[in-house]
Amino acid sequence: MLCIRGIVLPEREERVFLIDGGVLRAGGPPGGLSGRDVEMVVDGGWLLPGLVDVHTHPGTTDPRVPFDEGMLRRQLTEHRDAGVLAVRTPGTARRMPGWVTDDPELPRVTSAGRWLATPGRFIPGFGRDVSEAELVRAAVEEATASSGWCKVIGDWAADEPALPLPLLTSVVEAVHAAGGKVAVHCQTAEGTRNAVLAGADSLEHGMHLDPALLDRMAARGTAFVPTLSVFAAGMDRMRAREPGVRRDLWLAGWDGMLDNVRAAHEAGVTVLAGTDSFPCGTVAGEMEWLVRAGLPAHAALGAASWTARAWLGLPGLVDGAPADLVAYATDPTEDPAVLNHPSRIVLRGRVVR
C-alpha cells in the first residue's frame, strides 16, 4: 500500500494519505506508518497537487509541419516529467485524439479543439479556418467535441481590425448556452477590450489590457493568462526589427504587461500561468515571471498549480481526490527554483519518478 506524508499546499498543513486505486484517502494506514505493507513513497517535504500549464499547444511546434501524434505524446511526457500533471490546450492544429485521455501515463488534458480563425486572422491552414458567418456554429462544435472549451482568434495583426464585438458576443452566448467556455486570443487593444466586453472566459495573452476593465473581469470571472514567458522570449528579436507600427505596438504592449498582471491580481482577477512555448514543461519559469510582475509567491505558485486546477474543475490534495501530486524537498514558495527538482511525481496513483 502506497503512503504519502508531507506539508500540503496551499493549506500548509501536514497530511497523510493512502493511495487507493488512483484516489487519495486521508489518514494513515490502520497499522501505523511503519506497518509491513506500507510503502512510504513520500515521507516529508512539501506537496503540490501537480503543476498546471493552462496555455500549451503540444503536437505542433511549427505551422509548416503537420500535427504529429508522436510529438504530442513526447511533449505531454515532457510536461509530466517536469511535474505538470494537468494542462489546457487552447487551440491545436487537430483535435486531441481519444488516446490522450485514456493514457494513464499522460497529464490530464483539457482541450479546446482547433483554433478558430476568421479570414485575415491567424496562420492560414494552421487551425480551423471559418468565415465570420460560420464562426458561432463552429465554436459550439469545437467546444462540444472537446473538453467544453473552444478557442477563438480574436485579433491578429496589430494594425488590422479585431473580430467585431457583436460577433464575439454571439459566440460567447452560444457556447455558454451549450455549456461550454470560450478562450480568446487577444493581443491588440481592440481585441483585448472586445474579449472582456463579450464576456469571454479567458483572455489569452491580453496585451494592451485597459486597467479600467479589470473590475469587470473580476466580477465576471474572466481569467487572464498573460503568457509572459513567450513574450519575454520574443522581446529581443522584436526590438531588433526595423521600427514600424506592428513592432512599436508590440513593444508598447509588452511594456505594460507586468504592471497589468499585478493590477489584475490586485483587482481580484484570476491570473493563471501558461507558457505558450517550447520545450514543454517550463511552467515553473512562467511562475517566476508572475513573481517578477509583482504577484506574491504564494499566488504565483497557485496560478501554476492549485488555482489553475480548481479553475479546470480538478481538486487539490484532499480525501477522495485523484492521486496526482508532486513532492519537493523544500517550500517552493520560498525558492521557486526548487520546482525544477521534484523529489517525487505521482500521477493517477502511479509513481512516475
The grid cell for 17 is: 494519505
**Nearest to residue 209, comparing CAs of 130, 293, 143?**
293
Q: Enumerate residues 275-334 that contact Zn ion by CB under 5 A.
A: 276
- The nearest distance, CB 149 to Zn ion, in angstroms, is 13
- The nearest distance, CB 181 to Zn ion, in angstroms, is 16
- The nearest distance, CB 237 to Zn ion, in angstroms, is 17
Alpha carbon separation from 142 to 27, 94, 145, 239, 300 (Å, rounded): 42, 11, 5, 36, 30
Per rule CB under 5 A, count of chain residues that contact Zn ion: 1
C-beta of 127 vs 316, nearer to Zn ion:
127
- The nearest distance, CB 126 to Zn ion, in angstroms, is 11
x/- binding map, residues 72-111, to Zn ion, per CB under 5 A?
----------------------------------------
Q: Which helix (H) or strand (E) holds 174?
A: helix 165-177
- The nearest distance, CB 218 to Zn ion, in angstroms, is 24
The span from the CA of 55 to the CA of 112, in Å, is 10
C-beta of 172 vs 184, nearer to Zn ion:
184
C-beta of 93 vs 295, nearer to Zn ion:
93
CB-closest chain residue to Zn ion: 276
Does position 155 interact with Zn ion (CB under 5 A)? The reply is no
- The nearest distance, CB 174 to Zn ion, in angstroms, is 23
- The nearest distance, CB 37 to Zn ion, in angstroms, is 47
The span from the CA of 149 to the CA of 95, in Å, is 12
Q: Which helix (H) or strand (E) holds 115?
A: strand 115-117
C-beta of 190 vs 276, nearer to Zn ion:
276
C-beta of 273 vs 347, nearer to Zn ion:
273
C-beta of 155 vs 276, nearer to Zn ion:
276
SS3 190: helix
- The nearest distance, CB 57 to Zn ion, in angstroms, is 6
Q: Enumerate residues 255-284 that contact Zn ion by CB under 5 A.
A: 276
Q: Identify any residues that bridge with 129 across adjacent strands, giving them in sequence order.
A: 117
C-beta of 222 vs 333, nearer to Zn ion:
222
Q: Identify any residues that bridge with 238 across adjacent strands, giving them in sequence order.
A: none
C-beta of 142 vs 276, nearer to Zn ion:
276
Q: Which residues contact 153 (CB under 8 A, 6 or more apart)?
A: 91, 115, 116, 117, 118, 121, 122, 127, 163, 185
Strand stretches in 190-305, DSSP E: 202-205, 223-225
| Single-letter code of the amino acid located at 6 | G
CA 20 to chain centre: 28
C-beta of 129 vs 276, nearer to Zn ion:
276
- The nearest distance, CB 274 to Zn ion, in angstroms, is 8
The grid cell for 308 is: 489553475
x/- binding map, residues 32-71, to Zn ion, per CB under 5 A?
----------------------------------------
Per-residue buried b or exposed e for 83-109, using 16+ beta carbons within 10 Å of the residue's own CB: bbbbbbbbbbbbbbeeebeeeeebbbb
- List interacting residues with Zn ion (CB under 5 A): 276
